[in-house]
Amino acid sequence: MALLAWAAFLAVPALGADGKDVFIANCAPCHGPDGKAHTPAGRKLGAKDLTASKLTDAEIRKQVTEGFKDQRGLVMPPFKDVLNSDQTDAVVAFVMSLRK
């Protein structure tokens, strides 16, 4: 019984969201797979180069969940109804890993 519980405990990290996969599926159309925003949609919308970002984890999380508006209006849609908390955390960690 204890061995089974230990095996379940070790499997939990494997069940977590993969930040790169979530990013590619949801963020790459604008930000590009490398985060540099060299995509047609990224150029049109003025998506930010995430490799040069200075935002904190909390600021990134807020933009992912609530979206981003500038003087033109909504630029980045909110993903609060698309990504769960684990996926959002994974995307934040992946975005941080893109920095130069």
Q: Which tens digit of pLDDT belongs to each residue from 6-48?
A: 333 333 333 468 999 999 999 999 999 999 999 999 999 889 9
Domain count of the fold of the chain: 1
Look at residue 82 and tell me if it is in a domain: yes
pTM for this model (two decimals) = 0.79
Look at residue 7 and tell me if it is in a domain: no
Q: Which domain holds residue 55?
A: 17-97
Structure confidence at residue 70 as a pLDDT band (50, 70, 90) = confident
CA distance 100 to 82: 28
> Among 2, 7, 11, 13, which residue's Cα sits nearest to residue 86?
13
Look at residue 43 and tell me if it is in a domain: yes
